[in-house]
Amino acid sequence: MSNDCIFCKIINGDFGTEFVYENEHLVVFKDINPKAPVHLLVVPRVHVASLNELEDKNLMGELLMGVKEVAKRTGLKSYRTQINTGKEAGQEVFHLHIHVMGKQTSV
Ligand code: AMP
Ligand code: ZN
C-alpha cells in the first residue's frame, strides 16, 4: 500500500469503487475515462509502480488469468490489452495495471 497512490486507495475501498471482479491477487474496475465500450483495469492488490519495478513473475500470470476471467464474465470475446510503462508512454497512474478494451458481445 502506497499512501499517495490512487489505485491503492481504490483497492482499500476509500472511494467505494465497484469491482467488476476480484480475487486474492487483483481487483478489476471500470476505467473512469473509457476509450472503448468496455474499458476495464486489471490491478494487482500489491503496489508495484510499473512493469519496470515488477519482480514477482507469478503475479503477471495471475493478472493475465484475471484478464481472461473478467473477459469471460463480461462477455468480451475480442479485446485489446495494454500496459503503459513510463510517463512518455502515457502512464498516468504509477500502480501497475492492464487495460482491457473491447466491445461487449453477450451478457
Ligand atoms: P495509464 O495511463 O495507463 O496510467 O492509465 C490510467 C488509467 O486510469 C486512465 O485510463 C484513467 O482514465 C484511469 N483512472 C484514473 N483514475 C481513475 C479512477 N479513480 N477510477 C477509475 N479509473 C481511473
Ligand atoms: Zn498503489
pLDDT at 65 over 60: yes
* Residue 6, ligand 1, Cβ within 6 A: yes
Structure pTM? 0.96
Q: Angle at the Cα of 25 (from 36 to 37), degrees rounded to 5? A: 10
pLDDT for position 3: 76
* Residue 88, ligand 1, Cβ within 6 A: no
Q: Are strands 26-30 and 38-44 parallel, antiparallel or unpaired?
A: antiparallel
pLDDT digits (tens, 9 = 90+) for 3-58: 799 999 999 999 999 999 999 999 999 999 999 999 999 999 999 999 999 999 99
* For the CA of 10, the nearest atom of ligand 1: 19
With the CA atoms of 16, 21, 25 and 26 taken in that order, what torsion angle do they form, in degrees rounded to the nearest 10?
-60
pLDDT digits (tens, 9 = 90+) for 68-93: 999 999 999 999 999 999 999 999 99
- Of the listed ligands, the closest to the CA of 99 is 1
39 is catalytic: no
